[in-house]
Amino acid sequence: MSKLKLTLGCWDYDRTRPLMDGTVAIEGVDLNYLNMPVEETFFRMLRHREFDVAEMSLSSYTVSLGKDRPFVAIPVFPSRYFRHSCIYVNANADIREAKDLIGKRVGTPEFQMTAPVWIRGTLAEYYGVPVDSVTYVTGGEEEPGRPEKIKLDLPPNIKIESIGGTQTLSRMLLEGEIDALHTARTPSTFLTHPDRVKRLFPDYGELERDYFRKTGIFPIMHTIVIRREIYEANRWLAQSLFKAFAQAQRTAYENLRETAALKVMHPWLMATLEQVEQEMGSDFWSYGFENNRNTLETFLRYHHECGLSRQRYAPEDLFAPETLEAFKI
């Protein structure tokens, strides 16, 4: 019996590498894994629908639900990240605590990016910085000319400006043309001018651990989407993909726990891993729907509060219905 030929656009993660190298197969699928940085995958999938299956920004996917709904997701999350570390400030902007951001000009590569959605929501809920209390400045972080990947229709209380065609947010932060930056990638000027570009939360590690202890949330950044016409023609595919991604992730867990020889270049890997498992449990990077409900509900609330989704979606609205229940033998 012939297999369904599919192209997957996804980065090279330890948790997906077994799919890329073929040690984990997807039932009924002949897979072509295209290894690309996330920005390229997102752009090509959102603009041109180039892949059958792709890693996708959770925020971009949620925005697409209010448009032509071109994709359907499965509850697999290749990227998760605590984002307290990702708020940078100009050292001369008189920002000593989070509330000092109010009234400031804050850069963000794209307003609809997932990382800034989590940052804005966290600042509003826990630090008293309302989403509409700053002016957002959008554009390329290191290279000029970056547009929003999806056309946005935001409420009037959200103030957004686009930077000039030769400007970059990283340089503008250094020069004080913006006061702060919400981003997923460390700006180059933080590394080259640490006296002038600083983190809002230098002690971010402890703040992020405390955030998890209080909320149980390990923020989800990306999910996996299927082009809707392919899913509709092959309803079995959602479960087959979920099972394969979960199997690949189990291999990554096993590699982290291997003590005969370190498979990851981290000299204190076992000490770090034991600390993580003590605080977050053995399945600290969980896939599946029900055990991520609270995280997804929080994200969808933040997304709505940012004006990116006109209705507040329920977590069930995001995923193929076949994947909402875990299969048990």
Instruction: Give 319's DSSP letter.
Output: B
Find the mean pLDDT for residues 116-125: 98
Q: Residue 138: helix, strand or coil by DSSP?
A: strand
Domain(s) labelled CATH 3.40.190.10 in the chain stretch across 4-81+219-255+286-323, 84-215
Question: In what side-by-side order are the strands of the sheet with 105-108?
Answer: 159-162, 135-138, 105-108, 180-182, 87-90, 197-199
Q: Which tens digits make up the pLDDT trace of 184-199?
A: 999 999 999 999 999 9
Average pLDDT, the chain: 97
146-179 confidence digits (pLDDT tens): 999 888 999 999 999 999 999 999 999 999 999 9
222 - beta bridge partners? 57, 79
Per-residue pLDDT at 327: 67
Amino acid at 136: Y
Integer Cα distance of 235 and 244 in angstroms: 16
CA angle (217 as vertex; 85, 9 as ends), nearest 5: 75
Residue 326's pLDDT is what? 75
Pairing of strands 180-182, 87-90: antiparallel
Whether the per-residue pLDDT at 329 is higher than 90: the answer is no
Query: What percentage of residues in the chain have a pLDDT greater than 90?
Result: 96
What CATH fold (topology level) applies to the domain 84-215? D-Maltodextrin-Binding Protein; domain 2 (3.40.190)
pTM to 2 decimals? 0.96
Contact yes or no for 66/168 (Cβ under 8 A): no
CATH code for 4-81+219-255+286-323? 3.40.190.10
**pLDDT tens-digit readout, 266-298:** 999 999 999 999 999 999 999 999 999 999 999
Asked if the model's pLDDT at residue 145 lies above 80, the reply is yes
DSSP assignment letter at 310 = S
